[in-house]
A and B are shown apart, each in its own frame.
Chain A
Amino acid sequence: MKQIEVVLISGRTAEQGASLEVGKTSERYFNSVAVVELSAADADALGLGEGDPVEVSTPHGSVVVRSRRSEGLDPGLAFFPYGPWANQVFGAHTGGTGMPPFKGVKATLRPAKGEPPTLRELVEALRRESR
C-alpha cells in the first residue's frame, strides 16, 4: 500500500471563509474544506488524480478527504483547511498553553476509496465515539 509521511499544517482559506458564511451544511463548504492540499510530487507518488480520495492519519485519528494539488507546497508538506475534517486528525494536547497542535504535525497519507464523510456523518461519529 503506497503511503507517504508529511508534515501537516491547517489554516484558513478565503473559500473556506466565504463558504462557511453561506452555511456549514452547504455543498460549497464541503467542497472547499473536506480537502487536503499536497505537492504535485507527493500526489504523483501516491498515484492520485486531481480530487481523488486520500486518507490522512495521525496517532489521533484518520479521515478520508479529497486531494488537491498545490504549487506552493514542497514535497513532504500538506495543507489542511481549518475545519471539522482536519480536526479528526489533530490531537487536543495543549501542553498547558490552551492551544492544540494545529500546525507542524506529522501525518501519513494513503490513497483511499469513497467519499469524505458529510458534516452529519462527522456529528454521528462524535456521538458514537462519546459513548
Chain B
Amino acid sequence: MTVIRDVVCPFCGCLCDDLEVTVEGNKIVKTRNTCAISSAKYMHHEENRITAPSVDGREVPLDEAVEAAAEILASARRPLVYGLSSTECGAIAKAVELAELVGGVVDNTASVCHGPTILALQAVGESKCTLGEVKNRADLVIFWGCNPTEAHLRHLIRYSGMPKGLYTPEGRKGRYIVAVDVRETRMKRLADQFLKIEPNGDFELLSALRAAVREVKVQAETVAGVPREQIEALAERMKRVKMGVIFFGLGLTQSDGRHMNIDAAVGLVADLNHHTKFVLTPMRGHYNVAGANTVTAWQTGYPYAVDFSRGYPRYNPGEYTAVDLLARGEADAALIVASDPAAHFPADAARHLARIPVVTLDQKVNMTTMLSKVVIPVATAGVEAEGTAYRMDGVPIRLRKVVEPSDGVLPDAEVLQMIIDRVRALKEGA
C-alpha cells in the first residue's frame, strides 16, 4: 500500500495540489483532502470506462481506430477539433497541431464558459492576481454570479475565505465576504452580505457601483433589484479596504450582455485601483481550461475559436466557436477530446453531431461517445497520466500519475500523435 502525497486534482479550476491518494496494487483505495467531486473522480475512475476502441460500435484494434479517425479528418473539408479543457497540455498541443494539419478549427470549452471574459479582456483588459495574493492580503472578497459551494468546493477553504495568510492572520474573521446572485444559494449563509440581483441585471448593477465609486449620484431607487443605499455602501467599502477581489463566474458570462458584463466589472476594478488595491479573477470551471487557452494562444496567438482553413490562424468568436459551427451545420467532421458537447451544447447544436462523422477520445461512455463513429479510450490525466495543467489563476502545476491505465489505454497525447502521423501520411500519399 502506498500513500502518494501532493497529488494534483484534475477536476475544477482550483487545481488543489495537496491531495493524498492511497493505492494498493493498481487500485485507488482511499483519498484525503479531496472534496466530494474529487473523491468521486478518484474512487470511481474505473467505472463506466470505455474498454476498447470502436468503429461504428464494433470493437477494433487501436491501429484500425486510428486509421479510421485519420481518414475522417484528412478527408473532411471543415473539421472541428473541440474539447481539451479536461486533459493535459501535451494533448492540447497535439490537438492544435492536428487542427492546423487538416486545415480545420480548434476550439475549447472556454467558448461556453469564460469565452466572454476573454472577449472583455481583449476590449478593456483585466486586473488580476494569483490565488495566494487573495489568501495573504484580501480583506474584501466578492463572489459575483458564481457558487463555489457547488462548483469550486475547496476554494473558500484554500484560498478565499478561511485561510490565515501573511497579512490576514485573522483568517475568515478578517475578511468581509459578499455574494451577489439571482437566487439564494449556500453562499448566502457563508457570506457576510448577500445581494439578490434580478436576472440579467448585472451590467446595470456593476455600472451603478462604478458610478458610485466615481462619486456620481445614482438616481434610481433600486438598480437590478438592489436598493441604492446598499450600492453606495458597498462602493464605499470597496474604496476603503486594503485589498479587494471579485471572483466571478457564469452568472456574468452566460446572462444577457455576456462579455459586456465582464467589461463592466473590469472597468469597476480599474477605477477602484485609483483608491486601493483591487483585482478580479474568473472562476474557471474545468481544471485545465486555462491551459487550453494558454497553449492555444502561445502556439497560434489566439486563445480559442481558431480557424486554420487558410493555412494560418484566424480568430473570430461567433464564427469559429463550436456551438456556432455546429448550429449552422458547417462542420463536416469532428474530433472531440475530453469533452461531451452532445450533452453540454444546446440541442440545436448538439444535433449536428449526429449528422457528421465524429471521432472521440475520452474515458467514459457519454452522449458524445454514443453518437461517435470512432471512439478511442484514453488514460485519465492526473490519475493515469502526467502532464501540465494551468490553475484558474494561470499557475502551472504538473499532474501526477497515481495508477497505471488499463492495458492498451494510452494517454491522449500519444493517440493524437498517432492520428497526426497517419493524417500526414494520407495527405502526402494523396
Contact = CB atoms under 8 A, between A and B. Distances in A.
Chains A and B in contact, CB within 8 Å: yes
Interface of A: 7, 9-14, 17-19, 21-26, 60-61, 70-74, 77, 79, 82-84, 87-88, 90-104, 119-120, 122-123, 125-127, 129-130
Interface string B315-351: 0011101111011000000000000101111111111
Contacts of B12: 17
B19 interface: no
B24 interface: no
A14 B153 contact: yes
A130 B349 contact: no
Interface residues of B, number: 71
A72 B184 CA distance: 4
Contact of A12 (B285, B347, B353, B354): B285
Given A18-B40, A71-B184, A84 B115 contact: no
The 8 tightest CB contacts between A and B, nearest first, are A23-B48, A98-B321, A72-B184, A96-B318, A130-B354, A92-B327, A92-B348, A18-B40
Contacts of A12: 147, 150-151, 285
> Which of B254, B317, B349, B350 has the most chain A CB within a 10 Å cutoff?
B254
B127 interface: no
B364 interface: yes
A12 B146 CA distance: 10
A101 B196 CA distance: 21
Interface stretch (B229-237, B294-302, B366-374): B366-374
B41 interface: yes
A102 B254 contact: yes
A84 B346 CA distance: 8
B210 interface: no
B255 A103 contact: yes
B345 A13 contact: no
A98 B116 CA distance: 8
B305 interface: yes
B367 A84 contact: yes
Contact of A123 (B36, B346, B371): B371
B250 A11 contact: yes
Interface of B: 11-12, 35-37, 39-41, 44-45, 47-48, 111-112, 115-116, 119, 147, 149-151, 153, 182-185, 188, 196, 199-200, 250-251, 253-256, 258-259, 285, 304-305, 317-319, 321-324, 326-327, 340, 342-355, 364-367, 370-371
A97 B367 contact: no
Contact of A98 (B40, B41, B112, B285): B112
B255 A122 contact: no
A90 B346 CA distance: 5
A21 B255 contact: no
B317 A23 contact: no
Given A21-B41, A97-B317, 17 more contacts: A9-B182, A14-B35, A14-B151, A18-B37, A21-B45, A23-B365, A25-B365, A74-B196, A91-B348, A92-B349, A95-B258, A97-B119, A99-B254, A102-B112, A123-B367, A126-B351, A130-B355
Contacts of A72: 183-185, 188
A87 B350 contact: yes
Contact of A104 (B151, B199, B322): B199
Contact of B323 (A26, A94, A120): A94
11 contacts: A17-B150, A17-B151, A19-B40, A25-B366, A74-B196, A92-B348, A103-B250, A123-B342, A123-B370, A126-B367, A129-B347
Contacts of A127: 354, 371
Nearest to B149: A14
B347 A87 contact: yes
A43 to B, nearest CB: 15
A101 B185 CA distance: 21
> Which of A61, A91, A102 has the most chain B CB within a 10 Å cutoff?
A102
A130 B48 CA distance: 27
